[in-house]
Structures are given as C-alpha cells and as structure tokens.
Chain A
Amino acid sequence: MGQTSRCMTSEPSDDDLMAAYAAGDATAFERLYERHQASLYRFVRRLLGRALTSHTDEVFQDTWLRVVHARARWQPQGATFRTWLFTLAQHRVIDILRRSGREVVLDGADDGPPWEPDDAAWQHWPAPAAALPAEELAFWRRAGERLLGCLEQLPLPQRSAFLLHHDDGLALADVATILEVGFETAKTRVRYAMSKLRTCMGAYLGPEAR
C-alpha cells in the first residue's frame, strides 16, 4: 500500500531508512517515525482498550525506544520494518495487560465455525464510500464508536489479528509474523474476530437502531 507508492516516488524504503539510522542518520529515524506513528499509536490504543488507554503513550514510547536501541542488531531478514515495529508493540501491550492483572489468552481459539453473514445482514447499512453525506457520516461515527466497544470483547489474539488485518492493512502473512503464529492460525483468528464483530455490530446497528 504505502510501500508501493513510495517505490513509485523513489522514496527510500523502511529498511533503507532503518539502515541509515543504524549508520547514524537521525533524520532517517524521523522519517520512519512520521510514516508509522499514527497507525502504531492507534493500534496500541485499540489493543489496550479503554480501560488501559492511559498506557498508550508508555507503550508507544517504549516501542520506539526499542527501535532506537535495537537498530544495530536489526536486520531485514524475512520481516519488514513495519512488521517488526508492530511485533514490538504487541509484546509491550501483552506486558501491560499482564501487569494490570488481566488474563491474557494467547491461543485465541474458539469452538465451532465462525459465523459468516449473508448479504442480507448488511442490507440496511449504507455502503462504505470515500465521500459520505453528513447523515451517513454520523452513522459511521456511531458505528465506529460501537466497534471499539465490540473490539474490547474480543480475546487479545483475535483483536490483534483483526486490527492488523483490517485497520493497518497488513497481509495475513505479516499478521501471522507479528503474532508469531502460523498463517492458518492468523487467518482463523481474523475470521473469528470478523464473525464476532459482525454479530456485535449487527445487533447494535441494525435497522431498528437507525
């Protein structure tokens, strides 16, 4: 996505910038920061949930400082910088959750097949579009607010998988890398997350709720 556009404009890749920073170029780090700070901050905040949102800054800062201190050891072997960055954040979030006394279940397995909605399930929802009328914008804002609540009901592994896949736009292979699981496991987690979120969102934003 972003990598493609950067290639077309001959901008240095994340790997190149990280290598430059490891060689002492501080401006390369600033460029990396600007590229990924918004998505990483959002990922950390959503992964922590509302109850622990106060730790967002701490996790965000720790993640970047780990990048700073690990730059000499970092090598782009099998994982992009972005994948590595989100892996660091994921680990730090798990630390925070455990420190807060919350049970952290990392397998994220569910019994039974995930629910797959038919087309009728979303027939009363407005179609996603780049430019929305004001009334639909209000609808989606309420949907978004509700989705955050639904996300918090997901086990951490499914929440992570869904956010990485749907919000950050990472491919399933990268999601699997970040979560340090196999491809099929990551895929299953995303499917379960989508199923639960659709159920949660459908119930809240059904035709009667509009």
Chain B
Amino acid sequence: MSTPHEPSDMARDAWLREALRHAPDADVTPPPALREAILRQARHPAVRRAGLWQRVEAALGWLARPPVAAGLATLTLSTVIVVMWRDSPLDEAPAPVASRLPPAAAPAPSAAVPVERRAAAPKAALRERVQKPQPAPKAAPAPRSEAGAAPAQEPPSQDAAAPRPAPAAPATVMAKRERAASTEALSFAPTVLDPLPPVAQLLAARGPALHWSLGERSIAHGSAQQAWFEQLRSLAAGRWQRAPGPPASGAPLRLYEGDELRAEFIVSGQHVWWISPTQGTWRATLDEADAAQLQAQPARWSPT
C-alpha cells in the first residue's frame, strides 16, 4: 500500500508513514523557553535595525555593481568638470584692474564680467602676463586646463611692450597717462588673432582700384603698400582688441576705393588702430620698434 503525493512524485509507503506518525517523538515540540528565545531574537530591536541596515547594504551592493558604479563615476566626474569650469574665472583669472574701469567701458566684451571679480594683484604681474599672450598658458600660475583659454580673454595692456622704454620726459609721461586713461578699458577686451581678412580680401580683389591717403598725399596701392599691410598683419597677429574709438592723436593712413573710405590705420606710440566702416575699431599693442617701423614706412611712400 502506497500513497502517491503527486503525479511526478514517488509513492510513499503507507505503513512506514503510519509508523512514523506513531513514533514516540511524533508529537515532540520545541520547549517553550526555546520558542521564546527564538521569537525574542526575531523581535529584538537590534535585529530590526540590522534589518534596515541590511537593506541599506543591499542598496549599496546594488550601487556597487560595475554598470551602476561606472555610471555614477561618470556622473560624478562630469559634475566635477562642470563645477570646475564654472568656477574657474573666479579662482584662476588673472589679476584685475577692474576697479579702474571707467563706466564707459561697460559695453566692452563680455569677458570683462568674470575679470571684474578677480582678486586684486599687482599691475606688474598683469603686465607680465599680457605682454606675451601666446606663451601665457605655460607661464600662467593656474595649473588647470582653463589656463589655456586665459590668453584669449586677457587683454594686452598698452604698457605691455617688451623692452621697457627709457624714462620719458614729464610731458611724454603725461601723454602716456592720457592715452592710458582713454584706452585702459581695452585691457579687458578679448584678443583676436587677426580681424583683417576683409581688408586682405579687398586688397587682393580690388588692389589696382585702391589708393592710400596720408595727410595730403594720395598713394596708389602697390607692392610697397601690400608689404606694409602684410607686415602689419604679422606683427599684430594675436594682439587685436576691440577699441571704443580711434585715438585722439596720430596721423591716419586711409584706404579708399574710389571715393569710398574702406579702412583707416593709425600707428601711434606702441599701438596700431584699424578703424573700419563696417567692422568697428580695433587696436593692437606692438613692440615699440615694430610700431615705429610701421609708422615710418608710409612717410616714405611716393605719391602718385
């Protein structure tokens, strides 16, 4: 006699089962004290707390799974990068002269905003940095990668020419101060590599139809003028900044197409201005010798 439990199961021996059912220990149960001890353990507050902790552990375990951990690491890294990028102008921008920025300079390029927040630093340090904007990334004190972008935002100062000029006469010093007052805001404008391609294109396309004007003299565009222009582009490359207006002094060299003024250049002191009817006013700070050479050449051009 046997009793199958379920179709896939094996038949049970009914006699053996009956014998088991009547065995002396068939009705033995755990002692009440043991029962209470087990239930007390199960209800213990520490066990409940441990239960919560185990669930936290389980959650942490889930977070520790390679795909999840990799995702979190990526998110964390992205957050850090974004925070660093956003904070970089505050922490690592070069020294400011914003306190001396005249109200008129407000329309200056937007880069002035973070620059204004920069901590005060000796102006000499600023000069050191703006004099040579190209190698600045290596020389900049900031170790982070944003330092590479600093030269583009850092304006060259008008006093930033490399060989320092000899002590000037009081009148010259005053003149410099005046120019500085009129152009100091420029030091906050971003530098541009070369804004002159429109002029270059014009010279290339319309050269024979162009002529230059210096004072009372009119000079047809030729090889000497083209060479002067190319030299200007080369020397001023990377130093151009937007300027609020032309300088108060200096002899303008104007480029005409027929009667139409197409461009105007002024070399004064260590600076060269490009005034464009369509592109606005730009200024570049040059080495003093280079500026002097650019200023002297047009005087030797032969009038047509």
User: Which A residues are within 8 Å of any B CB, using their own CB?
Assistant: 21-24, 26, 29-30, 33, 37-38, 41-42, 45-46, 57, 60-61, 64-65, 68-69, 71-73, 122, 125, 127-128, 137, 140-141, 143-148, 162, 165-167, 169, 171-173, 187, 190-191, 194, 197-198, 201
Chain B residues lying within 8 Å of A30, measured Cβ to Cβ, are: 39, 42
Query: When chains A and B are docked, how far (Å) is the Cα of A162 from the Cα of B14?
Result: 13
Chain A residues lying within 8 Å of B39, measured Cβ to Cβ, are: 26, 29-30, 33
Within 8 A of A (CB), among B22-55: 22-26, 28-31, 34-35, 37-39, 41-43, 47-48, 50-52, 54-55
Q: Is B260 an interface residue (CB 8 A)?
A: no
B13 and A57 contact, CB distance less than 8 A? no
Interface Cβ pair total, 8 Å cutoff = 131
B38 and A128 contact, CB distance less than 8 A? no
B9 and A148 contact, CB distance less than 8 A? no
Tell me the minimal C-beta distance from A191 to chain B in angstroms.
Answer: 7
User: Which B residues are within 8 Å of any A CB, using their own CB?
Assistant: 1, 5-6, 8-10, 12-26, 28-31, 34-35, 37-39, 41-43, 47-48, 50-52, 54-55, 57-58
B54 and A144 contact, CB distance less than 8 A? no
* Closest 10 pairs between A and B when the two form their complex, measured CB to CB: A144-B23, A72-B54, A128-B18, A140-B22, A144-B22, A143-B19, A147-B19, A26-B43, A29-B42, A128-B14
Q: Which of A21, A57, A122 contacts B15 (CB 8 A)?
A: A122
Given contacts A41-B29, A137-B22, contact A24 B14 (CB under 8 A): no
Known contacts A42-B28, A71-B51, A128-B15; 18 additional CB pairs below 8 A are A22-B51, A30-B39, A45-B25, A61-B34, A65-B38, A69-B47, A72-B54, A73-B58, A144-B20, A144-B24, A147-B20, A147-B23, A167-B17, A171-B5, A173-B9, A187-B10, A197-B16, A198-B16
Tell me the minimal C-beta distance from B240 to chain A in angstroms.
Answer: 68
Tell me the minimal C-beta distance from B168 to chain A in angstroms.
Answer: 83
A72 and B38 contact, CB distance less than 8 A? no
Chain B residues lying within 8 Å of A46, measured Cβ to Cβ, are: 25
Query: When chains A and B are docked, how far (Å) is the Cα of A172 from the Cα of B8?
Result: 8
- Judged by DSSP, the binding face of A is helix
* Chain B residue at minimum C-beta to C-beta distance from A138: B22
Q: Which of B16, B21, B26, B38 contacts A201 (CB 8 A)?
A: B16
Chain A residues lying within 8 Å of B30, measured Cβ to Cβ, are: 37, 41, 57, 60
* Chain A residue at minimum C-beta to C-beta distance from B57: A72
Query: When chains A and B are docked, how far (Å) is the Cα of A143 from the Cα of B39?
Result: 35
Query: When chains A and B are docked, how far (Å) is the Cα of A69 from the Cα of B76?
Result: 34
Query: When chains A and B are docked, how far (Å) is the Cα of A44 from the Cα of B14?
Result: 22
Tell me the minimal C-beta distance from B141 to chain A in angstroms.
Answer: 53
Q: Which of A64, A141, A165 contacts B12 (CB 8 A)?
A: A165
Given contacts A33-B38, A64-B38, A72-B58, contact A148 B24 (CB under 8 A): yes
Query: When chains A and B are docked, how far (Å) is the Cα of A201 from the Cα of B20?
Result: 12
Given contacts A24-B51, A24-B52, A166-B16, contact A61 B23 (CB under 8 A): no
Chain A residues lying within 8 Å of B37, measured Cβ to Cβ, are: 61
Q: What are 18 residue pairs bridging A and B, where the CB atoms are less than 8 Å apart in the complex?
A: A24-B48, A30-B42, A38-B29, A42-B26, A45-B28, A57-B31, A60-B30, A68-B47, A73-B58, A137-B22, A143-B22, A162-B16, A166-B16, A166-B17, A171-B8, A171-B9, A187-B10, A198-B16
Chain B residues lying within 8 Å of A148, measured Cβ to Cβ, are: 23-25
Interface centre among B13, B31, B50 (most CB of A within 10 A): B13
Tell me the minimal C-beta distance from A45 to chain B in angstroms.
Answer: 6
Query: When chains A and B are docked, how far (Å) is the Cα of A35 from the Cα of B121?
Result: 80
B29 and A125 contact, CB distance less than 8 A? no
B58 and A42 contact, CB distance less than 8 A? no
Given contacts A29-B39, A147-B19, A171-B6, contact A166 B13 (CB under 8 A): yes
